[in-house]
């Protein structure tokens, strides 16, 4: 703990020095906007060339040390580490959200969303990447990205894996009796135990985590802190980019405008500007700068430099949180059991104990439901086992991070607050439905407007897949492993769904449309694809179509939803992008 504290203090002083206002140096080779999963990785890899000067711009600040505690992951949403975005109200989903609007958390600080995510390490399925390439993106098949998925990892003694990368991958050193029972029950139900990041994804596994010595391993800690002595990298915190500087005649980007401490700066890039501001802010900056849908920009009075479908497509992973299972024995942890002196001692001195749990997430299972139309062993659902529940903190914080209204919580979860129960979340990995985003105005300080359009596909396939998965989870929980705990499904109807027979398809559809919050894995708002693809914004080398010296490197370019949480694919993107950029400029 003393060593970690010393490193943190040293890094703090270096950042203070690096964050001093710009004086004489007003030009850099590369300007990277955003220090999240992709931006931090790019800053590391591009600054490996000592001849290049790199500027990394981050709108937020350094995270407090408490955010390093894995068990506290949900508590840092809706704080200064979170943009605090909210999706627009929709008729077909989020019926149980406050004002029928869903929280859409995004990280805001050095390290981006890796400061507030649940640290779950998932690569995705090989078929994901082969489909990505088949959309007209050469070089993005699984065989092409696997070396980069390995390169970023530091995981010991595992086949199909890599030891020595920047991103630590660990098993969580604490397990509840509940998760051990779940893993056993899944195997009794016919699912193999797998390394879901290895040869086969379908099956059950304890969750793999981006934690180091029991603490969060953000990209700030993994990719930026180790290179704190590089003189050719300047990091500016509290710096909000407001637009790109573009030569309207040549359509070449030559820099950015940003505001810091209420002062505006214009900084030029000799080679490139790279947007790594994320699935929301990268498209926002493009549109504010005149790159986007012509009709939308014209409506807002923004001069159009390039007509591209920025923000017109947006996929997201939603998760159903309405499967609650009552037991006759306390085999989970309550919030009160988490935070005590002995657990804090265990965490900081030995890197173990219940505080290492990833906000309650303990196991993952990938399954292919009976309604899947895929011929191959390709999952359509991720099952997330929670060794706790939404009511563990008596409704103080967890309900807010899950976008549950107080009235719904009080009616549905409050009656069982003091009873032992665990939850199983379901995440739809390949939704057919998609939404979009657009600007609220041409004011760069206004939030974009988000329209998720969950479960709106014409054939209702998203709902059918969810219901098939719900029934499969109920079957798993009926396995012998859970019988000794008297495990039963909580059968109280959700408010608003009482008119439907409990456990009928109609009931589950109502429940899905009531409490299915985002897992904040939005993609495709700056979709990758060839020029002839009418939905594409960037090409396979991540260059914005029709605009020079500008790339987008973050989850916004991912063209389809992946069988993954998006942090690791975002880092992989940047690892691969760095090699593409080096090859282009080191000739």
Positions marked catalytic: 521, 565
Write the Ramachandran bin of 133: left for phi over 0, alpha for psi from -120 to 50, otherwise beta. alpha
- 382 beta partners: 366, 427
CA 422 centroid distance within chain? 24
Q: What is the CA radius of gyration of the chain?
A: 23
- Backbone φ and ψ for 317, nearest 5 degrees, come out as -95, 120
- DSSP-assigned letter for residue 447: P
Q: How far, in Å, CA of 117 to CA of 217, rounded?
A: 11
With beta carbons less than 8 A apart as the criterion, state whether 96 and 405 touch.
Answer: yes
530 vs 316: CA distance, rounded Å = 22
Contact 463, 512 (CB under 8 A): yes
Contact between 172 and 212 (Cβ < 8 Å): no
Q: How far is CA 173 from the centre of its chain?
A: 23
Cα dihedral 286/291/295/300 (nearest 10): 50
Report the chain's terminal Cα–Cα distance, integer Å: 45
DSSP H/E element including 161: none
Q: Is 242 annotated as a binding residue?
A: no
Which burial class, exposed, middle or buried, applies to 560 when counting CB atoms under 10 A from its CB (0-12, 13-18, 19+)? Answer: middle
Q: Is 241 annotated as a binding residue?
A: yes
**Residues within the annotated binding site?**
113, 241
Annotated binding-site residue numbers for FAD: 113, 241
């Amino acid at each position: 703990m003393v060593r970690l504290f010393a490193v943190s203090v040293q890094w703090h002083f270096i950042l203070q020095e690096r964050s001093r206002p710009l004086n004489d140096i007003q030009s850099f080779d590369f300007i990277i906007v955003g220090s999240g999963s992709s931006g931090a990785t790019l800053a590391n890899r591009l600054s490996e060339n000592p001849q290049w000067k790199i500027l990394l711009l981050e709108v937020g600040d350094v995270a407090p040390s408490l955010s390093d505690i894995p068990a506290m992951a949900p508590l840092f949403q809706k704080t200064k580490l979170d943009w605090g975005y909210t999706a627009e109200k929709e008729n077909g989903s989020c019926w149980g959200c406050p004002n029928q609007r869903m929280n859409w958390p995004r990280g805001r600080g050095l390290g981006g969303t890796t400061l507030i995510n649940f640290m779950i390490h998932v690569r995705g399925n090989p078929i994901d990447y082969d489909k990505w390439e088949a959309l007209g993106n050469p070089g993005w098949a699984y065989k092409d990205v696997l070396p980069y998925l390995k390169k970023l990892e530091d995981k010991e003694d595992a086949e199909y894996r890599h030891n020595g990368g920047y991103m630590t991958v660990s098993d969580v050193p604490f397990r509840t009796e509940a998760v051990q029972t779940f893993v056993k029950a899944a195997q009794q139900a016919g699912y193999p135990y797998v390394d879901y990041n290895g040869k086969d994804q379908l099956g059950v596994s304890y969750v793999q985590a981006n934690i180091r010595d029991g603490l969060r391993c953000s990209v700030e800690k993994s990719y930026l802190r180790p290179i704190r002595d590089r003189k050719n990298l300047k990091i500016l915190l509290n710096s909000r980019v407001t637009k790109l500087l573009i030569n309207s005649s040549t359509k070449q980007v030559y820099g950015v405008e940003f505001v810091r401490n209420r002062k505006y700066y214009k900084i030029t890039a000799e080679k490139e500007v790279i947007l790594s501001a994320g699935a929301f802010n990268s498209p926002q900056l493009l549109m504010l700068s005149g790159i986007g849908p012509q009709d939308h920009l014209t409506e807002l009075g923004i001069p159009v430099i390039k007509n591209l479908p920025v923000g017109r497509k947006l996929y997201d992973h939603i998760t159903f949180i309405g499967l609650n299972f009552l037991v006759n024995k306390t085999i989970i942890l309550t919030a009160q059991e988490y935070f005590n002196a002995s657990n804090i001692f265990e965490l900081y001195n030995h890197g173990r104990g219940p505080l290492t749990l990833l906000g309650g997430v303990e196991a993952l299972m990938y399954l292919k439901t009976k309604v899947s139309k895929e011929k191959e062993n390709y999952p359509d659902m991720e099952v997330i086992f929670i060794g706790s529940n939404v009511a563990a903190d008596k409704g103080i914080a967890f309900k807010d991070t899950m976008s549950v209204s107080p009235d719904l919580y009080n009616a549905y979860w409050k009656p069982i607050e003091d009873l032992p129960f665990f939850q199983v979340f379901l995440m739809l990995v390949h939704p057919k439905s998609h939404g979009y985003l657009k600007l609220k105005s041409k004011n760069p300080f206004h939030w974009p407007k988000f329209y998720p359009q969950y479960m709106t596909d014409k054939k209702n396939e998203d709902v059918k897949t969810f219901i098939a998965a719900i029934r499969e989870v109920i079957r798993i929980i009926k396995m012998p492993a859970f019988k000794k705990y008297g495990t039963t499904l909580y059968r109280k109807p959700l408010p608003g769904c009482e008119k439907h027979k409990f456990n009928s398809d109609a009931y589950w559809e109502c429940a899905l449309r009531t409490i299915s919050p985002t897992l904040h894995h939005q993609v495709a708002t700056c979709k990758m694809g060839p020029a002839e693809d009418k939905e594409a914004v960037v090409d396979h080398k991540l260059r914005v179509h029709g605009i020079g010296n500008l790339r987008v490197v973050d989850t916004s370019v991912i063209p389809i939803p992946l069988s993954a949480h998006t942090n690791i694919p975002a880092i992989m993107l940047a690892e691969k992008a760095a090699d593409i950029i080096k090859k282009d400029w080191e000739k």
